[in-house]
């Protein structure tokens, strides 16, 4: 970089930096003036979080430089109006960090747009079509984006989306620059297969696109938790709650946000579904739906394309997936595996409580058979009686009374049920009032050092007081999502068993309380903590 007049920064003798547009842990994006062509451009200045990286770890610094060069090459390979154009690269060679000179997109980002509130389903579908076109072009060029999220979707002044930040893109035959065992990307929008350590494919980018559209129309992220670890665990283990505002986008979200990448529709089908959703009239007020996020049957969803467009869902049982991540270190090393979504649950269509509901509905006696109580009122399971009912139903269905973990939501309970005679192997089960107990396809093992739960130690009557205290101290003003995590002792970290009460709002603000099995609070992590 050249130093000219005071307070005047000129890169490569040509690009005058004028204003900071944004930045993060890996650098800053500037608006700059091209002094040669007399136009404005965006310049990405790469800087690692540790400014001394090149001194004590030159190998890592050089890898970062190569990743930036790879981003430039990835962008250069993708020519499409919905992909940001790269104009120039300034590279000083080994021991330096490059600057990327790109077109300036002046309409802000999708993240900026969503700060003003959710989008209508048809509007989100139109935007999604543009992003999908960009991904198609990238995939055709052998490039997977791997970090599709609102901040990486820029908007032209006419509202057209432009996909940017291919810095962690995977290019065929050039993936060695992604460190083995590392998770690179934004946990909130990563597909389960990528969180689990697999490279994934185009289907993983489609998951990220669908999750971004879910956030765009619902106004909150369904799996974001209070910590990175908790978010990664949620992506791997938890169901995506059915959307309530998605309207015409519901069929798309239902098909794409499934754990098995082979069960997701291909890009062509997704494109046709987006076109169908975009053509629907804008609804007046929120549109509710009871469709579960699982591959739907076409007759149930009239806005779906023809059955010839739908990909056959090939669900396979999978063993637990080892997660080796530089993001979460040893905390996720082991066999933390994702649970697939249970089946249709058509008996729940009259349910008045969703995973995001905060109020309690009238108690009723749930049954463990899916054929009854189609019109019965939904029991709030996040209560002492609800928890006891779910545990009893699971024990009766499985003939087992040992659990590796338990997560309780208002309308369902997810459990790891230990295999008889084993202290490490478990199967996954889900309980819902009205539809009973359903077995997941995952058969896995507890993470190293974790021990099964002793549910006899837990005082479920303390749960209401725990959430009452959470409402007071976690600083989540209008919580729309709450759940309880029950975890056994973890010898690796000399940690005792505990239960945690989580709260989050529609903007993703969240916090949690950790307590002993008797309900004594031992840790408070407020939303601003």
| Helices of type H across 358-457 | 384-398
pLDDT, averaged across the chain? 74
Q: What is the CA radius of gyration of the chain?
A: 24
197 near 131, Cβ under 8 Å?
no
Comparing 102-116, 380-394, 477-491, which segment has the lowest mean pLDDT?
Answer: 477-491
419 near 398, Cβ under 8 Å?
no
What are 363's two structure tokens? 């108690």
Give the pTM. Answer: 0.54
Higher local confidence (pLDDT), 320 or 153: 153
Comparing 85-99, 156-170, 228-242, 288-302, which segment has the lowest mean pLDDT?
Answer: 288-302
DSSP track, 189-244: G--HHHHTT----HHHHHHHHHHHHHHHHHSS-TT--SSHHHHHHHHHHPPPPPPS
What are 121's two structure tokens? 């389903």
Task: Cite the active site residues.
Answer: 147
Among the listed residues 12, 22, 215, the one whose alpha carbon sits nearest the alpha carbon of residue 128: 215
**What confidence score (pLDDT) does residue 345 get?**
33
Number of residues assigned to the chain: 529
Among the listed residues 191, 195, 205, the one whose alpha carbon sits nearest the alpha carbon of residue 131: 205
Among the listed residues 435, 416, 433, the one whose alpha carbon sits nearest the alpha carbon of residue 360: 433
Helix (H) or strand (E) holding 464: helix 463-473
**What confidence score (pLDDT) does residue 326 get?**
31
Domains and CATH numbers, the chain: 2-103 (3.30.200.20), 110-332 (1.10.510.10), 346-525 (no CATH)
**What confidence score (pLDDT) does residue 331 get?**
31
Q: What does residue 143 show for φ and ψ, rounded to 5 degrees?
A: -115, 130
**What confidence score (pLDDT) does residue 398 get?**
94
Residue 248 has pLDDT above 80, yes or no: yes
411 near 381, Cβ under 8 Å?
yes
Per residue in 140-172, pLDDT (tens digit) is 888 888 889 998 899 988 889 999 877 655 554
Spatial CB neighbours of 100, under 8 Å, sequence gap ≥ 6: 43, 44, 46, 68, 71, 72, 75, 86, 89
Task: Look at phi and psi of residue 522 and say left if phi exceeds 0, alpha if psi is from -120 to 50, else beta.
Answer: alpha
């Amino acid at each position: 970089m050249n130093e000219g007049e005071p307070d005047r920064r000129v890169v490569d003798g040509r690009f005058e930096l004028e204003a900071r547009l944004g930045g993060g842990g890996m650098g800053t994006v500037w608006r700059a003036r091209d002094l040669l062509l007399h136009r404005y451009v965006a310049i990405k200045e790469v800087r690692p979080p540790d400014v001394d990286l090149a001194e004590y770890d030159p190998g890592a610094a050089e890898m970062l430089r190569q990743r930036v060069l790879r981003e430039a090459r990835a962008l250069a390979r993708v020519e499409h109006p919905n992909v940001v154009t790269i104009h120039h690269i300034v590279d000083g060679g080994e021991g330096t960090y490059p600057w990327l000179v790109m077109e300036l997109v002046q309409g802000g980002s999708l993240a900026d747009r969503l700060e003003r509130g959710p989008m209508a389903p048809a509007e989100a579908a139109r935007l999604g079509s543009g992003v999908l076109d960009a991904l198609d072009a990238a995939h055709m060029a052998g490039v997977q984006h791997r970090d599709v999220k609102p901040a990486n979707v820029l908007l032209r002044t006419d509202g057209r989306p432009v996909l940017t930040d291919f810095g962690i893109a995977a290019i065929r035959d050039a993936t060695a620059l992604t460190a083995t065992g590392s998770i690179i990307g934004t946990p909130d929008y990563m597909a389960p297969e990528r969180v689990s350590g697999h490279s994934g494919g185009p289907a993983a980018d489609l998951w990220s696109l669908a999750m971004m559209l879910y956030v765009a129309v619902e106004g909150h992220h369904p799996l974001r938790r209070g910590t990175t670890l908790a978010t990664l665990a949620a992506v791997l283990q938890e169901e995506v709650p059915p959307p309530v505002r998605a309207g015409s986008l519901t069929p798309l979200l239902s098909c794409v946000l499934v754990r098995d990448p082979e069960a997701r529709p291909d890009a062509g089908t997704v494109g046709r579904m987006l076109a169908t959703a975009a053509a629907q009239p804008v609804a007046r007020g929120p549109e509710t739906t009871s469709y579960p996020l699982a591959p739907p049957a076409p007759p149930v969803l009239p806005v779906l394309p023809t059955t010839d467009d739908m990909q056959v869902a090939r669900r396979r049982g999978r063993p637990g997936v080892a997660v080796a991540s530089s993001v979460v270190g040893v905390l996720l090393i082991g066999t933390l595996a994702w649970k697939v979504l249970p089946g249709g649950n058509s008996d729940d269509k009259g349910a008045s409580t969703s995973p995001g509901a905060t109020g309690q509905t009238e108690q009723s006696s749930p049954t463990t058979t899916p054929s009854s109580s189609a019109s019965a009122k939904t029991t709030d399971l996040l209560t002492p009686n609800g928890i006891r009912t779910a545990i009893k139903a699971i024990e009766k269905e499985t003939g087992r009374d040992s659990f590796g973990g338990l997560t309780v939501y208002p309308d369902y309970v997810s459990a790891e049920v230990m295999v008889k005679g084993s202290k490490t192997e478990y199967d996954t089960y889900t309980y819902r009032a009205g539809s009973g107990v359903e077995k997941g396809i995952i058969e896995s093992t507890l993470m190293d050092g974790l021990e099964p739960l002793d549910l006899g130690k837990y005082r479920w009557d303390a749960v209401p007081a725990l959430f009452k205290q959470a409402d007071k101290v976690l600083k989540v003003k209008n919580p729309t999502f709450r759940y309880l995590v029950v975890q056994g002792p973890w010898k690796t970290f000399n940690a005792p068993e505990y239960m945690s009460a989580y709260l989050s709002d529609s903007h993703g603000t969240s916090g949690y309380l950790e307590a002993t099995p008797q309900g004594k609070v031992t840790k408070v992590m407020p939303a601003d903590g």
